Amino acid sequence: MEEAENSDGSITAGIRHPGLEGDPDLQFLLKGGDLLKVKSKSWRKTRLFRLNEDCKTVWQQTSKTFKSDSSFSLEDIDSVRYGRQTEGLQKYTDSSVEDRCFSIIFKGRRKNLDLIASSKEEAKRWVSGLEKVMTGMHSLNRQQNSEHWFYNCMRKADKNADNKMSLKELKHFLRQINIEVDDSYAEMLFKKCDTSNSGTLEGSEIKHFYDLLTYREEIDVIYGKYASTNGQMSSGDLLYFLQNEQRESVSLEYAKKLIEKYEVDETAKQNKYMSKDGFLIYLNHEEGSIFNPAHKPIYQDMHQPLNHYFISSSHNTYLMEDQLKGPSSTEAYIKALMKSCRCVELDCWDGANGEPVIYHGHTLTSKVLFKDVIKAIKEYAFKTSQYPVILSLENHCSTEQQKIMAHHLTSILGSALLTQPLGHQMPNTFPGPEELKGRFLIKGKRLNKLDAAFNNNATEDVDSVSEEDEAAELKENNWQKSRFYLLIKLAKELSDLVIYCKSVHFSNFEHSRDNQAFYEMASFKESKAMNLAENSATAFIHHNMDKLSRIYPAGSRTDSSNYNPVPLWNAGCQIVALNFQTPGKEMDLNQARFLPNGKCGYILKPEFQRDPASQFDPANLRVGPWLKRKTLHVMPSSCLRSMKTSRSPSWTLRSRWRSTVCPTTSPANRHTTLTTMASVNSPFTLMHLANAFFQSVVTEVCFVTGFNPQWNTKFQFTIHVPELALVRFVVEDYDAASHNDLIGLYTLPFTSMQNGYRHVPLLTKRGNLIPSAGLFVHIMALDA
């Protein structure tokens, strides 16, 4: 912990400018300047912007009567884009100001901030400066983030800005960081730290206050247990801790490297010892995270056929909100692609002036030009992942505008668009993601067989195809009664762009096996797919061993809600499309499924979902290679510096631990939920098992107080198919009178979990990291 007083006397302790002291770009941001804010053709206002001294918020001038100024947090910024790279700037500004424009893109649904600087140099300086400060923030470890947050809260509590803390300011500060204490406790804490008897805390006294408030007894206990060399942890002691407690197969050299990397005391480092401070820093870095750092980069075989992978997929990708009246935007595609989504949907309709548009047909959702969407996709498709992107076309256009679509696809995407099968002869299986790096695949209707691509003389006297699946879902009941399929005209130019993802109607698995080529794929409405996954899971899995399947939400989900993707992954379905704009448990699971393997959007399915000899049935487990029973022991130890929620003024915490075991022993036994609850007054721990019946067991009552509440409650679960299991942690603010407020959550694959004492990061409901909060748990997964 750095000294709590900077050279300028500030209580923010040198943590304001992490790694950027004296940087000219930082000084430029702190000084700030006028920028032209653009909202429409007519709304353009000059506003003063500058980075606040906390280096975490940007102040912006406003003309609102009752609001003299406003700030936004850098943590709320998703990215900063130079040039006219948003719909607003492209629509409301001229290309002549291209090099003076930049945009601040916020996380969630907050509107972009489109700005014009007075010069090209100034615009670039704003962009580079903001990116530099944001990079510095993101590079902080958990402990540094917590300190940064702690002292910024303290600075805000310093009402008279004298860089000292009075007793009144201290009480306000404790309430601000979510600790409700009585006056006598606050006074005791204050007097203990006010060693100068000045009536205020300053300098080293603030540091002492921080140490007392953030003291973690559990770390002392763990360190004391393994620091057996004169009260210190030698490299041999650390190795024993790593092998015995963390269950890591590592060497003494690895332990020495950890000491070299994280020890802060030079004498201890020279003697190959790790102090308690160094040990805490180690626990706060990725080696001490619950997520296995070996699974962070791309580590899976990426040369398997495309259908051997789960593929991160989006439904109604163009929508920012609901599918009745929400806005359509290229920004929605950018957000999905930047989350490594590898299959996006384009609902295409005839537009004005001969230009096709994308929107949710027959609704009040706004429209966006097809060509603008393709330009955005081209620009952002491979920024976070180099693996192929599938453009799933839902085509409602006339043949004339279909030709325009084909022209835009070929002219904008260029050589990145796959227009011929790879190789020089007709393939009988998909290429792998590695072979298709940087390529776009079109999913849609095709007039003829793929063989025609190798025989220019092969023509078929047909210009129409049946419109089924999602494109005509509303007419589905009529089709079933009359067996009549609506025919749509299809332009050859667009048809020829469909190579490996030809949309066809699904009748049954036998028909598909006997009549469909590997590149012919069906789309399934969620209800139909769920029925097949529950009643014909093994047949569905074998269908997906040589073909692709796409699942999409029911049209009745007008609020753009999502279905549970787990049963569909269990059945081997690759393209399980979700509404990326809608946060919730379903998107948490999706984010967890694609968290490993470099977050590239492709996850190799387990071998038993790829082997033709497999008889795996998630609804009826039998002996097989998939059955690798594990006993999972979990002890939630403490919650670290949890953020205050908007509704609850007191330190009231509820943490729900959910292990989505997919599958377990029976169709009805798929979810295991563990709930721990803690509050200042009467914390307690519950364990819930959600099966065909509901069982609630009170295991322990544990009273806690303080900044980092401790639980030390033990739970045990049996997991039957580890390769398909996901583990979910949810921390909520308990409210007996109403719904609990979410504090944070984290979900990850069971196979990517590390054993031992681990820190669990917490995310917002939209999947953004909360830097000042986390869980500390003990995990042990053993062979049953």
pLDDT in tens, 197-254: 998 888 788 878 877 777 788 899 999 999 999 899 999 999 999 999 999 999 999 9
| 773, 762 contact by CB (below 8 A) | yes
Residue spans in the chain of domains classed CATH 3.20.20.190: 306-450+461-609
Residue 308 designated active-site: no
Is 316 annotated for ligand binding?
A: yes
Q: How confident is the model at residue 543 (pLDDT cuts 50, 70, 90)?
A: very high
State which H helix or E strand residue 782 sits in.
Answer: strand 769-783
pLDDT recorded at residue 1: 42
CATH 2.30.29.30 range(s) for the chain read 24-138
Is residue 679 part of an annotated ligand binding site?
A: no
Q: Is 368 helix (H, G, I), strand (E, B) or coil?
A: strand
Whether 634 has a binding-site annotation, put simply, is no
Q: Residue 298 CB: number of other CB atoms within 10 A?
A: 18
Mean pLDDT confidence for 74-95: 92
**Residue (of 731, 727, 732) closest to 592 by Cα position:** 727
- Please give the average per-residue pLDDT across 689-715, as a whole number: 42
Report the percent of the chain where pLDDT is more than 90: 54
- CATH 1.10.238.10 domain extents, the chain: 142-213, 217-288
3-state secondary structure of 491: coil
Residue 720 annotated in active site: no
Cα of 554 vs its chain's centroid, Å: 24
Crossing angle of the two packed helices 204-213 and 142-157, in degrees rounded to 10: 120
Round to whole Å and give the CA distance between 756 and 752. Answer: 13
CATH fold label, 142-213: Recoverin; domain 1 (1.10.238)
Residue 81 is predicted with a pLDDT of: 94
Q: Is the pLDDT of residue 377 over 50?
A: yes
The CA distance from 692 to 690, in Å, is 7
Q: Which helix (H) or strand (E) holds 636?
A: strand 630-640
Strand 715-719 to strand 726-733: parallel, antiparallel, or no bridges (unpaired)?
unpaired
Does 345 count as an annotated binding residue? yes
Q: 728 - beta bridge partners? A: 658, 747
Q: 652 pLDDT exceeds 60?
A: no
Per-residue pLDDT band at 770 (split at 50, 70, 90): confident
Mode of pairing for the β-strands spanning 684-690 and 671-679: antiparallel
What pLDDT is recorded for position 660?
41
Looking at 683-725, which runs of residues are DSSP E strands?
A: 684-690, 694-701, 715-719
- The pair of structure tokens assigned to 25 is 């770009």
The answer on whether 59 is annotated among ligand-binding residues is: yes
Distance between CA atoms of residues 448 and 503, nearest Å: 12
- pLDDT of 62: 79
pLDDT band for 700, please (50, 70, 90 cuts): very low
User: What is residue 621's predicted lDDT score, i.e. its pLDDT?
Assistant: 80
Where along the chain do the CATH 2.60.40.150 domains lie? 630-783
230: left (phi over 0), alpha (psi -120 to 50) or beta: left
Query: What pLDDT is recorded for position 427?
Result: 93
Q: Is 220 annotated to bind ligand?
A: no
The domain defined by 630-783 carries CATH number 1.20.120.1760: no
Contact 146, 215 (CB under 8 A): no
State the greatest distance between any 2 C-alpha atoms of the chain, in Å, as a whole number: 96
Instruction: Confirm or deny that 445 is annotated as ligand binding.
Output: yes
* 381, pLDDT greater than 90: yes
The mean pLDDT of 385-400, rounded to a whole number, is: 96
Q: With b meaning 16 or more CB within 10 Å and e meaning fewer, what string describes 178-192?
A: bbebeeeebeebbee
Phi/psi at 340 (5° precision): 65, 25
In this prediction, residue 641 has a pLDDT band, given cuts at 50, 70 and 90, of low
CATH architecture type of domain 306-450+461-609: Alpha-Beta Barrel (3.20)
How many percent of the chain have pLDDT more than 70?
79
The region of weakest confidence among 413-422, 545-554, 639-648, 748-757 is 639-648
DSSP conformation class of 546: T
pLDDT score recorded for residue 98: 95
Confidence of residue 541 (pLDDT cuts 50, 70, 90): very high
pLDDT-derived band of residue 704, with 50, 70 and 90 as boundaries?
Answer: very low
Window from 160-164, 294-298, 309-313, 386-390 with minimum mean pLDDT: 160-164
Rounded CA gap, 729 and 759, in Å? Answer: 12
Q: Exactly one of 295, 315, 720, 778 is catalytic; which is it?
A: 315
Known binding residue 443? Answer is yes
Residue appearing with tokens 């699904």: 506
733 is in an annotated binding site: yes
Least confident of 102-116, 348-362, 637-651, 715-729: 637-651
Q: In the predicted model, what is the mean pLDDT of the chain? A: 82
Please state whether the peptide bond connecting residue 356 to the residue before it is cis, i.e. omega within 30 degrees of 0.
no
Bridge partner residues of 579 (DSSP): none
* Residues 330/373, Cβ–Cβ less than 8 Å: yes
In the three-class reduction of DSSP (H, G, I as helix; E, B as strand; rest coil), residue 390 is classed as: strand
Residue 663 reports pLDDT greater than 70: no
Cis peptide before 663 (omega within 30 of 0): yes
Closest listed residue to residue 460, CA positions, set 429, 426, 410, 495: 495
- C-alpha to C-alpha distances, 441 to 399, 419, 504, nearest whole angstrom: 21, 8, 16
Using CA atoms, how far apart are residues 344 and 377, in angstroms rounded to an integer? Answer: 9
Residue 697 has pLDDT above 60, yes or no: no
Residue 679 scores a pLDDT above 50: no
Q: What is the pLDDT of residue 738?
A: 67
Rounded CA gap, 367 and 360, in Å? 8
Name the band, by pLDDT with cuts 50, 70 and 90, for residue 477: very low
Asked if residue 64 belongs to a known ligand binding site, the reply is: yes
Strands 575-578 and 549-552, by their bridges, are: parallel
Rounded-to-integer distance, Cα 332 and Cα 327, Å: 9
pLDDT digits (tens, 9 = 90+) for 161-205: 777 888 888 887 777 666 666 778 778 888 898 999 998 888 788
Q: What is the dihedral of CA 501, 504, 507, 513, to 10 degrees?
A: -50
Residue 778 CB partners (closer than 8 Å, separation 6+): 633, 634, 635, 637, 756, 757, 758
- What are the tokens at 615? 């008889």
Question: Annotation-wise, does 42 bind a ligand?
Answer: yes
Q: What is the pLDDT of residue 362?
A: 86
Position 241: which residue type? F
Q: Is residue 535 classed exposed, middle or buried when 0-12, 13-18 and 19+ CB atoms within 10 A define those classes?
A: exposed
pLDDT at 735: 62
pLDDT: which is higher, 637 or 537: 537
Identify the band that residue 692 occupies on the pLDDT scale cut at 50, 70 and 90: very low
Instruction: Decide if pLDDT at 158 tops 90.
Output: no
305: confidence class by pLDDT, cuts 50, 70, 90: very high
Q: For residue 712, name the pLDDT band (cuts at 50, 70, 90).
A: low
Q: What's the pLDDT band for 551 if we cut at 50, 70, 90? A: very high
Residue 44 annotated as binding site: yes
3-class DSSP state for residue 87? Answer: helix
Residues 6+ apart with CB under 8 A from 337: 344, 377, 380, 381, 383, 384, 389
Domain 24-138: CATH class, spelled out:
mainly beta
Give CA–CA dist 512/524, Å, rounded.
Answer: 14
Q: Is 670 annotated as a binding residue?
A: no
Question: Which residue from 634, 633, 621, 695 is spatially nearest to 664, judged by alpha carbons?
Answer: 621
Cα–Cα distance list, 384 to 276, 314, 339, 704 (Å):
37, 16, 7, 43
- Asked whether 258 and 285 are in contact (CB, 8 A), the reply is no
Tell whether the model's pLDDT for residue 780 goes beyond 80. Answer: yes
CATH 1.10.238.10 fits 217-288, yes or no: yes
Which residues are CB-contacts of 331 (< 8 A; sequence separation ≥ 6)?
86, 87, 105, 112, 320, 376
Write out the E strands in 222-372: 233-234, 273-274, 309-314, 343-349, 357-358, 368-369
In 3-state terms, what secondary structure has residue 724? helix
CA torsion 59-61-62-65 (nearest 10°) is 100
**Global confidence as pTM:** 0.85
Q: Binding site annotation covers 271?
A: no
Catalytic entry in 148, 295, 360, 408:
360
- Structure-model confidence comparison of residues 706 and 116, the more confident one: 116
